[in-house]
Amino acid sequence: MLTKKQHELICFINDRLAETGVSPSFEEMKDALDLKSKSGVHRLISALEERGFLRRLPNRARALEVLKVPDRPESREAVRSSTPAPTLPEPANDVVEVPLHGRIAAGAPIEALEGSTSLPVPAALLGSGEHFALEVAGDSMVEAGILDGDFALIRKQDVARDGEIVVALIEDSEATLKYFRREGTMIRLDPANRSYDPQRYAPAQVRVQGKLAGILRRYS
């Protein structure tokens, strides 16, 4: 037996696939089920996978396959119908192109690098807002799981809260990816590597360019 929310979710996913061929986003599923967070959607999907109703397609963004659909209350009398079930369209792999502005330690303002090239990114990795990407250079954030050669996906914004990983432009000349913290009247940019020291600046020296939204990594 499925719970009410599990039943609602599998029917919502099935209806969306039948209508458009594209799996709904986690945000859409959260709103459709009136859930407070996307973590609730993750738990429901995992439960449906365990019960054999749903399967995630590997290496594809927003790709879900409905293996079986529970009876809907209004259609139980029609269960014995001889009409074959419709073939579901294959879920699409949504990819968006985001601007790739260069290497994070390139020593140039982000604005000077805009429009250079773009990077294909699974849409499921991005939330709302405008995004860009930067290639990570160096090992100052390795303890946060951010490695040299990774692509940092950045949501554009000019404010930050303590503890967020941000792209900070220092004196309009050098961009860096660090933890953002306020320390008295100063701004402290913390690395995630014990081999490096925090950097302290006056607020006028630092401009937040965006907040880390995700990481892409290539394996070769």
The confidence band for 178, taking pLDDT boundaries of 50, 70 and 90, is very high
- Which residues, in sequence order, are CB contacts of 9 under 8 Å at separation 6+? 29, 32, 33, 41, 44, 45, 48
pLDDT at res. 187: 96
pLDDT at res. 112: 38
Give 195 or 21, the one with higher predicted confidence: 195
Residue 4 near residue 36, CB atoms below 8 Å:
no
CATH fold of the domain at 95-216: Umud Fragment, subunit A (2.10.109)
Kind of pairing, strands 151-156 and 206-216? antiparallel
Name the CA radius of gyration of the chain, rounded.
22
Residue 23 near residue 62, CB atoms below 8 Å:
yes
Q: Name the residue among 3, 4, 26, 2 with its Cα closest to residue 13.
A: 26
Residue 159 near residue 208, CB atoms below 8 Å:
yes
Q: Name the residue among 168, 177, 178 with its Cα closest to residue 202.
A: 168
**Domain 4-78 is of which CATH architecture?**
Orthogonal Bundle (1.10)
Q: Name the residue among 67, 44, 56, 51 with its Cα closest to residue 1.
A: 51
pLDDT at res. 219: 73
Give 103 or 100, the one with higher predicted confidence: 100
Q: Name the active-site residue from 178, 195, 211, 220.
A: 178
Tell me the whole-structure pTM to 2 decimals.
Answer: 0.55
Tens of pLDDT, residue by residue over 26-85, are 888 888 888 888 778 888 888 888 888 888 776 555 578 888 877 655 444 433 444 455
pLDDT at res. 125: 76
30 is catalytic: no
pLDDT at res. 83: 47
pLDDT at res. 59: 54
Residue type, 154: I
- What is the average pLDDT across 136-152? 88
Strand partners, 80: none
Residue 140, by phi and psi: left (phi above 0), alpha (psi -120 to 50) or beta?
alpha
The confidence band for 106, taking pLDDT boundaries of 50, 70 and 90, is very low
Kind of pairing, strands 186-190 and 174-183? antiparallel
140 is catalytic: yes
The confidence band for 159, taking pLDDT boundaries of 50, 70 and 90, is very high
Q: Name the active-site residue from 140, 156, 195, 220.
A: 140
Which sequence spans correspond to the domains of the chain? Answer: 4-78, 95-216
The confidence band for 200, taking pLDDT boundaries of 50, 70 and 90, is very high
